[in-house]
Amino acid sequence: MQVLTSPGRPAGDEPVGDSLDQDVPRFRVLLAAALGPLVTGYAVVATLLALVTLTAQHAIFSAGGVLLSAGPGWLAAYQVELGIGGHPLGMLPLLPTIGAVLLVARAAAKAVRRLRCARLRHAVPLIATISGAHLLFGLLISLFSIGEPVGANVALAAVVPAVISGLAATAGVLRRFGLPQVLAERLDPLALRGLRAGLLGLFALLAAGALTLTVATALSARTVSSLFEPSFGGSFGLFLLSVLYLPNAVVAAMSFVSGPGFSIGSLDVHLIGYRGGSVPGVPLLGGIPEHAAAWWPVLMVLPLAVGVLVGWSVRAVDDDPAARLRAVVVAGAVVGFGCVLLGTLAGGRLGDGPFDPVSVPVGVASIVAFCWIVIPAGFVAFFAGAHAPMQPVGSLEVEEEAEAEAESDEADETEESESDEDGADEDSEASEEDSDLAEDPEDSEADEDFDAEADAELGLDLPEEEPEAEPEGEAKEKSETPAEEPESVTESTEDSGDAKPAEDDR
């Protein structure tokens, strides 16, 4: 039975419609990954602004005004410095930034799964699409805000969201591909373990700062409650503002616990010093004390405990104490870099008033955090880990003497071996001479016949000497040569017979 089939199309003659049908799902996936975080983030910002406007007493709600105001709020979520009536606002909340980064990373990971990318380079167009969409959206918002009370720099509004979204998308793609495991295989195990210990130490320091902030807020509960306004709208706005800036306050508390502290305008707070100043009326800042306390240095136990924790986590990474110390140094560097990054994002300009600027001394904070990690962690990692058994001084001296004797014995053995080689050479030469003599049996037999004839002529009857034991090789050679000794013996007997009658005649 013959099967009828249509002839196959040559390469390059596929219909255009088929390729378009294959590219449409890919295009939709890229479009969803790029616009999904933008629409979601913008909708969340607009919803929060609408809630604040609706709950405020003297505010007039306008849908258009809320949508236009949500644009600068979206830029603030991506850490773009804003200008409010000509005054800079650089201290921006970190909580919306964390949410935006997680949103973009999740969208990128989902798109990679839907696109079925086999390799990392196949996801490069996805990352470029997400970053490019954020660039165009930020540029559009900045252009619409020109001339408005709240605006942003056009260049910063385009570049900063593109960079942050690109990094977040890259993190989502790498997590989906499992590239961190590949990097873990290629990196030095000690460096990788130090990196993990450093992240552990950074989160532990943040936890110490959060604990300090919680305790300070709880102890100042009356002051915090007095900062809320009687109206629900005003209280809701202050509560929302405190929640959005909560990560910033945790970073400042971490710097305070470590030692360098923080500053708000003229206010400067750190463990061993205090300089008073005015503070914004926000419930989140109600826990800031009005004067220094003598027990503040006790809080240094918290970063010390973090250093001990890091050292305990790397105590078993290697049997060599020096290797463990290298891991501790890597962990300290990670913590120092994290303090620089978080301190830079947590602070910034706060208008031109008495609260400007809000800052964390990132340089000093990074150095102090590095020391808090390296010094206690180094002690714990060195003494809590495995060590080679130490030997007493006397045994070391005995070992040195034994090594010296061994060296002298080796020298004597080398000399003896050289002398044995020389003796072996002489013996080999002698054996060669003997072999040469053994190779000429006719000469040796002729000498023996001559001696026998001489003795017979002189009439000497010498006792026969016992033949000496000859080597087996020479015996074999003599046995192979023809025997001529009987002729000489007969000749000697005839001569002796002739000689005896002569004696009788005499």
pLDDT at residue 419 in the model:
56
pLDDT at residue 428 in the model:
53
pLDDT at residue 192 in the model:
86
Contact (Cβ atoms closer than 8 angstroms) between residue 365 and residue 260: yes
Angle between helix 246-258 and helix 189-219 axes, rounded to 10 deg: 100
How many angstroms separate the CA atoms of 335 and 200, rounded?
Answer: 9
Q: Which uninterrupted H or E stretch holds 434?
A: helix 393-438
pTM of the model: 0.72
pLDDT at residue 409 in the model:
66
Tokens coding 498: 């002739």
How many angstroms separate the CA atoms of 202 and 196, rounded?
Answer: 10
**What is the rounded end-to-end Cα distance, in angstroms, of the chain?**
142
305 burial type by CB count under 10 A (0-12 exposed, 13-18 middle, 19+ buried) = middle
Q: Which of 204, 194, 188 is nearest to 314 (CA)?
A: 194
How many angstroms separate the CA atoms of 331 and 391, rounded?
Answer: 32
Give 362's contacts (C-beta < 8 A, 6+ positions apart): 339, 340, 343, 344
How many angstroms separate the CA atoms of 102 and 105, rounded?
Answer: 5
- Scanning 439-462, the segments in alpha helix (DSSP H) are 441-458
pLDDT at residue 120 in the model:
80
Q: Which uninterrupted H or E stretch holds 264?
A: strand 262-264
How many angstroms separate the CA atoms of 466 and 468, rounded?
Answer: 6
pLDDT at residue 116 in the model:
85
Per-residue model confidence as pLDDT tens digits over 441-465: 444 444 455 455 544 544 444 444 4
Whole-angstrom CA distances from 370 to 202, 290, 347 are: 10, 30, 21
pLDDT at residue 53 in the model:
86
Give 390's contacts (C-beta < 8 A, 6+ positions apart): none
pLDDT at residue 160 in the model:
96
Q: Which of 301, 299, 312 is nearest to 379 (CA)?
A: 312
Per-residue model confidence as pLDDT tens digits over 66-89: 888 899 999 999 999 999 888 899
Q: Which uninterrupted H or E stretch holds 275?
A: strand 273-275
Residues with pLDDT less than 50, the chain: 1-23, 391, 393, 395-396, 430, 432-447, 450, 454-455, 457-506
